[in-house]
A and B are shown apart, each in its own frame.
Chain A
Amino acid sequence: DVKVTQSSRYLVKRTGEKVFLECVQDMDHENMFWYRQDPGLGLRLIYFSYDVKMKEKGDIPEGYSVSREKKERFSLILESASTNQTSMYLCASRDSHLYGYTFGSGTRLTVV
């Protein structure tokens, strides 16, 4: 069974901290994505990657960066966490445009 694993289910961080959210997929997928989910706003794309070391900004990249050093791992970095980054963060991967996304279980981040 295919899997996308996010390293933490819940995180609490302080304002100004640097935060790393990790995502690993075991499906050899080229494409990986980071979304945040907020009530009433649906899922909004932060960054995506279509290959190792390749990345593209999504719709809301401000305050975030990403890293993809290996095909299976896609990391989301909050350079200096702020309270408005409190959210559910969802990682996903996808094989090609013919198939749907496989999501991880999500990381609920609270910034205090």
Chain B
Amino acid sequence: GQQVMQIPQYQHVQEGEDFTTYCNSSTTLSNIQWYKQRPGGHPVFLIQLVKSGEVKKQKRLTFQFGEAKKNSSLHITATQTTDVGTYFCAGDSTGTASKLTFGTGTRLQVTL
């Protein structure tokens, strides 16, 4: 079945440093979504990417979808302590309203 891997599993940065997490799918995706889960919380939808090579920005967060639609990345510029949490990508290979396959997640720790 479809597999979605994320690296790194964990990253610890100092506040103000940049952070990137990478997501790779074993199959071509119709779209990819990103979620953030704060410690003790539940995943919250951040964004969806649909087009090959698409780049979207949300303030300090930049999301990219690869040309082959099999990989994606999330980059955070100048991290803040509020960025702490686990970031998940989730791929949809069917293009319908059916299930997503979630990545294993990257846990980000930010210290002052």
Q: Which chain A residues border B103 with CB–CB below 8 Å?
A: 42
Q: Is the CB of B35 within 8 A of A94?
A: no
Interface size range on A against B: 20 to 34
Q: Is the CB of A40 within 8 A of B42?
A: no
Query: In the bound complex, what is the Cα–Cα distance between A97 and B99 (angstroms)?
Result: 9
Given A40-B9, A42-B105, A43-B88, are A103 and B42 neighbors across the interface (CB < 8 Å)?
yes
Interface size range on B against A: 20 to 34
Q: Is the CB of A48 within 8 A of B99?
A: yes
Q: Which of A90, A94, A97, A99 has the most CB of B within 10 A?
A: A97
Q: Which chain A residues border B112 with CB–CB below 8 Å?
A: none
Q: Which chain B residues border A64 with CB–CB below 8 Å?
A: none
- B98, CB-defined interface residue at 8 Å: yes
Closest 3 CB pairs of A and B: A100-B45, A43-B102, A42-B104
Residues of A within 8 A of B (CB): 30-31, 33, 35, 40-45, 48, 50, 56, 58-59, 90, 94-106
13 A/B residue pairs, CB under 8 Å, sorted by A: A31-B98, A41-B104, A42-B6, A50-B97, A50-B98, A58-B99, A94-B97, A100-B35, A100-B45, A101-B33, A101-B45, A103-B44, A105-B42
